[in-house]
Amino acid sequence: MKQKALFYISGFVIAVVVLVAIAAPLIAPQDPYQVFEGQLMVAPLSGAGVNGAPTFILGSDDLGRDLLSRLIYGAQNSLMIGALSTLFSLLIGGLLGLVCGYWGGSVDFVIMRLMDLLLSIPSTLLAILVVAILGPSLTNTIIAVGVVSLPFFVRVTRAQVMNEKVKDYVQASRTMGGGLVHVLSWTLFPNVWPPLLVQATLSVSDGILNAAALGFLGLGAQPPTPEWGVMLSDGRSFLESAWWLVTLPGICLLATVLCLNLFGDGLRDLLDPKARKAR
Amino acid sequence: MSSPGANPYVKVQDHSITFRNQKSRGYALRNFSFTAAKGEVIGIVGESGSGKSILGLSLLGLLPESAIVDTREVILGGEKILLTSKSDLRKVRGPILGMIFQDPVNSLDPCYTIGYQLKEVLQRNPKVKNWLTEARQLLEGVGIADGERRLGSYPHELSGGLCQRVQIALALAQNPKVLIADEPTTALDVTIQKQVMELLMRKREEYDFTLILISHDLGLISQYCDRTLVLYAGEKMEEGPAVEVLRHSRHPYTRALLEALPYHDEGLLKPIPGLVPDLREMPKGCVFYGRCERQTEMCQTVKPQLTTDGTHGFFCHHPHPVKEQHGASRV
Amino acid sequence: MALLEFKGINKVFTNRRSLTEIQHLVALEKIHFSIEQGQTLGIVGESGSGKSTLAKLLMKLEQPSQGELLLEGRDIRKWSVKELSREVQMVFQNPLSSLNPRKTIRQVIEEPLIIEGQLKSADRRKIALDLMDRVFLRKEWESRYPHELSGGQRQRVAIARALALKPKILVCDEPVSALDVSVQAQVLNLLKELQAEYKWTMLFISHDLHVVRWLCSEVLVLYFGSIMEHGRTSEVFKNPQHPYTKALLQSVPSIHLDRVAQSGLRGEIPSPYSRPAGCVFQTRCVARLPVCTQPPPHLKSAHREWFCHLPPSNLPST
């Protein structure tokens, strides 16, 4: 029961974050790029009315921008990086894993050794490497973060395919005259994707974290783009004078990542057909 | 065969096992009792879900946490055992009660050699002076000729039949008073099955333990057992001398099982209609109600009591008449 | 013309142990027999006898190393897998693993029709429901998943799936050995009834000699990849000629057998890498002769053949 509750709560939080990200232009009280002069580092819920500036519900940052609006738009960017980088590694990693698992042999050997190479480099370092080659930008952050999680997708897919392809039902499909396309898409795919989906939800959170790390190092999204990692890094220097500049993006990041992980765990249990209730 | 009851060597009285989860509880075994004499071979026969394997595990205290064992009395090898006491269970495992499992390869630890596994058991036995000679003798005793070499082998290097022999040697190393063999030959080929069963029979004469043979194979039971108990859905249906029970069964369930076997040449087989009842929703009366040919209304509500005709006992309101040979006899 | 002919089939698996060392594993050697339309051939033998490899050759999951496998007189290598699937279908041993766990049982039964790709989904569904009815599965169960069924029901789904393309040959690999006695009888009855109805040819692989005797018109006894004895079931079981067949029959426990010490079989199948020259059974045979290191002669009598150096016994003169 507790497990179920956690699954629903985390799902709810994720849904809220996604909705906020989508509806950012509608709900953000201010333009995230607008600088209010003389309103630098206003504490939350104060500083209303001076020079015609609005109330900063969550305070303002060191340049006088509304923190709440920046957090809302930041959700957009952070989630997008997480989702797109996951999509990137899901598609490429899934395909490579399928090839490795189904055919094996020397193709498998070469691809897996490449993946081992990627795995042997610390993830942040690898991301920095990719960004250093491609140059810092939002798109390149996505690619860099995607490359970091690639080996995990390849491994999960490959293991699952190898595990399933020897089972009788796959043999049965082949004896029924099923060609390669049928065996891969109709027979194997439904049995391979559930763990991939779980891996994907976990990978979104990793992606957000990695992107934040890149942003923190100044290699991710470039200012003035609002992104949680960048905001965290910018606020760091004001930790003692303006706590909210670090704390609030940090909490957003933490909550989203935590919920994605909990959701992924719950999904794993849910997708097991044997755990589903018999009718 | 000494008369059971006077001074029981093995006795299990009113043994019930329930499994409980959050939503429901169900009986895996209900008010099960049996006795056995020293050196006797008792066959426990039943289909999957009958509770036959649960019985062995419960006597060794190997059931999962969710199982509740409720029993009046358990006597093994002449000693009274408290199944709730951890120290009693520790005392039982090995020197009093040995167990042989169905899957010979997976029942041996894949990380250690046969020799090491034997050594571990033999060194715990205070009577054994030199484990190596003892181990060699044991392996020789179970028909492994090149025992010396096999001591250094890992389980995966041996065939299923050899692994089963090693399992028997491991059980015998503690000189148990009672040996439970749970489907010991189901994973083996018929020719190897025969070798293993004959080995068990020889060892029983040599070591004089009581053998409890759990199996679904009626042929095997009739070939090797003195007495047999037929289990269905966690309850005892019929008991008595093995050949008697299987050739002249009185209980409709035993009869139905035998008639479902392809022991004749022509015509169709006679399957038992329906399915085993859900353990959570057991019928109030006879558990075989709903699948039985001879059932009447009273079977649904009234639980049948033990009826005996000399050697042969059964739980049925409408048993088959006495001494009626059934099934086309043939070799 | 026989429907199916195995002509001198050898199957050798090669196993590369290291760069220089290659091991050869003989799975089948000189398999030569044929099956007529409508016959039921039981294939018996211990594990390692090559029975499953035989089925795999027929399903084209493996290729023979030598020899020809003719289906309707045409080499199986010339058949496409799709063509072959219309003629030959298979029922596997473990019904749970042979059914796709994430497809409903209607989808499972429809699979061969989907591969065939000629019917619309409504027509496929109708055929699938008819087949479910034919194997005594309730139509309401169409959207259940395999794990929600009992073992016997699952195996009936597998049989329905094999029927979908109306094959001429059905290969059953130990179809009832994972089932309980009472359920086994249902599935066996179903197979026998369907066989009478569709007149198909059946290859029935089993280790249970009782089942083979009940179901099969012919029996093929395999040991260590070679044929020991082959012929009409009633003849072979009543009066086995090969010592291996005799030993096999004596090893089966039966409730109608009195407990006498019968000669079983000593030892086990030797390692597949050390195949004895001559008769492969010589290492375990109780009636072994010095001549057994030579290849055994091919002996024949009415309705049967066997390979043994021993003179025939108890045979009516023909």
- In chain B, what are the domains? 10-225 (3.40.50.300), 230-315 (no CATH)
Chain C residues touching residue B216 (CB < 8 angstroms) = 180-181
Chain C residues touching residue A187 (CB < 8 angstroms) = 100, 111
Chain A residues touching residue C165 (CB < 8 angstroms) = 176
Contact yes or no for A127/A148 (Cβ under 8 A): yes
Contact yes or no for A2/A8 (Cβ under 8 A): no
CB pairs under 8 A between B and C: 111
Chain B residues touching residue C184 (CB < 8 angstroms) = 260, 271
| Phi, psi angles (nearest 5°) of residue B34 | -160, 160
Per-residue model confidence (pLDDT) at position C150: 87
Per-residue model confidence (pLDDT) at position C262: 60
Are C61 and A175 inside 8 Å of each other by CB?
A: yes
Query: What does the pLDDT look like over C239-258, one tens digit per residue?
Result: 999 999 998 888 888 777 66
Does residue C148 sit at the B interface (CB-CB below 8 Å)?
no
Residue C61: both structure tokens together? 């999951």
Per-residue model confidence (pLDDT) at position B187: 83
Lowest mean pLDDT among C5-19, C63-77, C87-101: C5-19
* Bond from prior residue into A224 cis (ω within 30 degrees of 0): yes
Are A182 and C116 inside 8 Å of each other by CB?
A: no
What's the per-residue H, E or C state across B64-108? CCCEEEECCEEEECCEECCCCCHHHHHHHECCCEEEECCCCCCCC
Per-residue model confidence (pLDDT) at position B221: 92
CA distance C176 to chain A (A): 15
Q: For residues B194 and B189, what is the distance between their CA atoms, to the nearest angstrom?
A: 9
Does residue C253 sit at the B interface (CB-CB below 8 Å)?
yes
Chain B residues touching residue C188 (CB < 8 angstroms) = 262, 269
- Give the Cβ contact number of residue B38 at 10 Å: 17
DSSP helix, strand, coil percent of chain B (3-state; round to 5): 30, 25, 45
Per-residue model confidence (pLDDT) at position A55: 72
Per-residue model confidence (pLDDT) at position B3: 46
Per-residue model confidence (pLDDT) at position C318: 45
Query: What does the pLDDT look like over A98-145, one tens digit per residue?
Result: 999 998 889 999 999 999 999 999 988 998 999 989 988 888 889 999
Residue B137: both structure tokens together? 């003798």
pLDDT confidence bin for A279, thresholds 50/70/90: very low
Per-residue model confidence (pLDDT) at position C207: 87
* pTM score, whole prediction: 0.84
- Give the Cβ contact number of residue B221 at 10 Å: 27
| Mean pLDDT of the A166-188 span | 90
Q: CA-nearest residue of chain C to A183?
A: C115
Per-residue model confidence (pLDDT) at position B330: 40
Nearest to C248 among B191, B258, B272 (CB): B191
Give the H or E element holding residue C103. none
Contact yes or no for C223/C275 (Cβ under 8 A): no
Query: What does the pLDDT look like over C105-132, one tens digit per residue?
Result: 999 999 999 998 889 999 999 999 999 9
In chain A, where the domains are located: 2-30+58-278
Per-residue model confidence (pLDDT) at position B6: 54
Does residue C252 sit at the B interface (CB-CB below 8 Å)?
yes
Residues with Cβ within 8 Å of residue A120, at least 6 apart in sequence: none
Query: What does the pLDDT look like over A181-239, one tens digit per residue?
Result: 999 999 999 999 888 988 898 888 888 888 888 888 888 778 788 888 888 888 888 88
Q: For residues B227 and B239, what is the distance between their CA atoms, to the nearest angstrom?
A: 7
Per-residue model confidence (pLDDT) at position B4: 46
Per-residue model confidence (pLDDT) at position C257: 66
Is the per-residue pLDDT at C219 higher than 90?
Answer: yes
Tokens 């709730």 correspond to: B84
Lowest mean pLDDT among A165-174, A209-218, A256-265: A209-218
Residues with Cβ within 8 Å of residue C155, at least 6 apart in sequence: C91, C95, C175, C176, C179, C187
Average pLDDT, chain C: 89
Q: For residues B247 and B317, what is the distance between their CA atoms, to the nearest angstrom?
A: 20
Residues with Cβ within 8 Å of residue A139, at least 6 apart in sequence: none
Are C103 and A177 inside 8 Å of each other by CB?
A: no
Contact yes or no for C47/C53 (Cβ under 8 A): no
Chain C residues touching residue A182 (CB < 8 angstroms) = 114-115
Give the count of alpha carbons within 13 A of B263, CB side only: 24
Per-residue pLDDT for chain B (331 aa), expressed as one digit of tens each?
444 445 689 999 999 999 887 667 788 898 999 999 999 999 999 988 888 889 989 998 888 888 889 999 999 998 898 888 888 888 888 889 999 998 888 889 999 999 999 998 888 888 888 888 889 888 988 888 788 888 999 998 888 888 999 999 999 888 899 999 999 988 888 888 888 899 999 999 999 999 999 999 998 999 999 999 999 999 999 999 998 898 889 999 999 999 898 887 678 888 888 888 877 777 788 999 888 989 999 999 999 999 998 888 999 999 988 765 554 444 3
C221: β partners: C44, C229
- Give the Cβ contact number of residue A278 at 10 Å: 9
Does residue B222 sit at the C interface (CB-CB below 8 Å)?
yes
| CATH fold of A2-30+58-278 | MetI-like fold (1.10.3720)
Parallel/antiparallel/unpaired status of strands C169-173 and C201-205: parallel
Query: What does the pLDDT look like over A32-86, one tens digit per residue?
Result: 888 877 777 777 776 655 666 667 778 778 787 888 888 999 888 888 889 999 9
Per-residue model confidence (pLDDT) at position A277: 46
Per-residue model confidence (pLDDT) at position C192: 92
Per-residue model confidence (pLDDT) at position C263: 62
Does residue B290 sit at the C interface (CB-CB below 8 Å)?
no
pLDDT confidence bin for C16, thresholds 50/70/90: confident
